[in-house]
Amino acid sequence: MSKRGLGLFVSAIMLTMLALTGCGGGAKAPEESKAVESSAEQKSEEAKTEESKQAKEKIVVGYAQVGAESDWRTANTESFKSTFVPENGYELIFNDAQQKQENQIKAIRDFIQQEVDYIVLAPVVETGWDTVLQEAKDAGIPVILSDRMIKTSDDSLYTALVCGDFIKEGETAGHWLEDYIKLKGKNHDEKINIVTLQGTIGASAQVGRTDGFANILAKNSNWNMLAKQTGEFTQSKGQEVMESFLKQFDDIDVVVAENDNMAFGAIDAIKAAGKTCGPEGEITVISYDAVKAAFDAMIAGDLNASIECSPLHGPRVAEIIQKLEKGETVEKIQYVDESYFDTSMDLEKIKSERAY
């Protein structure tokens, strides 16, 4: 009995497998039958060459994405998926690495075997790319980096980098504050006391934004930077640091938070201390990134302005690819266009139109 049971089971498996292979083979069957029919042979061959021509015309792009850890990242993915569509002459092969470098390395190796025309890489980490990028180079496939830089001894391993200009973002924040103070009609000599909630020290966003803002600070003699401390890009740490700032100083005019989340924490701390913030309040709050929640905070009147960190890298990468296709040289580092948003704008409308 048991023997028969086993036999039955085995045959069931075999059947499943047959079915599986049958499914797989189904795709090829028409092709094969065409090849067998002598009369149709020529036709099918013609069709084939035509097909391959079409395939050749399309530019195949492999995108090794970090993952889907934030709204920013998802918007970045969408930007690529909507840019590299067949209508624009592209075929996009997308790979989500789930935040693992080893997955990205695997994906790049697969892209090389698929003979993609271009590889776009948003590196999870900065190092460890030399080996696999050398493989891409050996196969003659240009690599374009998106969002983050890599550390490598050989610059020729990548063709271009598309990223946000963090220094410019910092300067934009400074310029916005200059204009805002003018608009408020404050006396030019009046002291403006500023505190900064920095990002994770050493992160490129932190360094760029701090430096950019400092450039504008240096031009305004009446601006006084009371303190700078890291809030590590998190809401809870931002709140904590802001609480200690409020205890230390009783005349803070402006808070610069190097991302939206820390600004939300700071707003909570300000409210808890019995002070007010936003366009109608005592303390002006500026942040970076401009995620959806930042729009909500501006609409609620808690946040004054948020400087955009655009995830829409797709069009810029497409531009680079078009240039490379024509044989032109491209600049090694290219920045995406970024702007800012403040409470003087029609935020509801912008928010509904934005991708992230």
Partner 1 sequence: MRNKIKNIDNKAFLLYMTIVLFIIMYSIGIIMFGNKGFQKPQVFLNLFISNAGLIVIATGMTMVIISGGIDISVGSFVALTCMVLAWMMEKGNMNAVSSIIVIMLMGLVFGLVQGILIAYLNIQPFIVTLAGMFFARGMTAIISQEMISIKNETFLAWANNKITIPLFGIVNKKGVTVYPYIYPTVIAALIILVIMFILLKYTKFGRSVYAVGGNEQSALLLGLNVKSIKLKVYILNGLLCSIGGFLFCLNTCAGFVEQAKGFEMEAIAGSVIGGTLLTGGVGNVFGSLFGVLIKGTIEAFVSFQGTLSSWWTKIIIATILAFFIVLQSILAMSKKEQK
List residues near partner 1 by CB under 8 A.
Answer: 1-3, 5-6, 9, 13, 17, 20-21, 24-25, 27-28, 55-56, 62, 91-103, 105-107, 109-115, 117, 125-128, 130-131, 134-135, 138-141, 151, 153, 202
Least separation, in Å, of the C-beta of 260 and partner 1? 24
Alpha-carbon distance 276 to 183, whole Å?
19
Cβ proximity to partner 1: between 117 and 260 the closer is 117
Cβ proximity to partner 1: between 109 and 219 the closer is 109
Q: Which of these, 354, 350, 322, 327, lies nearest to 88 by C-alpha position?
A: 322
Least separation, in Å, of the C-beta of 242 and partner 1? 24
- On whether the CB atoms of residues 233 and 264 are closer than 8 A, the answer is no
Least separation, in Å, of the C-beta of 61 and partner 1? 10
Query: Residues 6 or more apart from 106 whose CB is under 8 A from it?
Result: none
Query: Residues 6 or more apart from 147 whose CB is under 8 A from it?
Result: 66, 76, 122, 162, 163, 164, 311, 313
Which phi and psi angles does 80 have, rounded to 5°? -70, -45
Cβ proximity to partner 1: between 60 and 305 the closer is 60
Least separation, in Å, of the C-beta of 339 and partner 1? 32
The answer to whether the Cα torsion of 320, 324, 325, 326 is positive or negative is positive
Cβ proximity to partner 1: between 91 and 178 the closer is 91
Least separation, in Å, of the C-beta of 37 and partner 1? 20
Give one DSSP letter per residue of 185-207, joined into a string: T--TTS-EEEEEEE-STT-HHHH
CA atoms within 13 A on the CB side of 300: 13
Alpha-carbon distance 195 to 268, whole Å?
16
Q: Is 332 left (phi over 0), alpha (psi -120 to 50) or beta?
A: alpha
Cβ proximity to partner 1: between 140 and 185 the closer is 140
Least separation, in Å, of the C-beta of 317 and partner 1? 17
Cβ proximity to partner 1: between 20 and 35 the closer is 20
Cβ proximity to partner 1: between 134 and 229 the closer is 134
- On whether the CB atoms of residues 174 and 208 are closer than 8 A, the answer is no
Least separation, in Å, of the C-beta of 148 and partner 1? 12
Least separation, in Å, of the C-beta of 101 and partner 1? 6
Cβ proximity to partner 1: between 108 and 270 the closer is 108
Give me 211's structure tokens: 């430096």
Cβ proximity to partner 1: between 129 and 180 the closer is 129
Alpha-carbon distance 240 to 228, whole Å?
13
The secondary element (H helix, E strand) that includes residue 317 is helix 314-325
Q: For residue 74, what are the CA distances in angstroms to 69, 241, 289, 341?
A: 8, 30, 14, 21
Least separation, in Å, of the C-beta of 140 and partner 1? 4
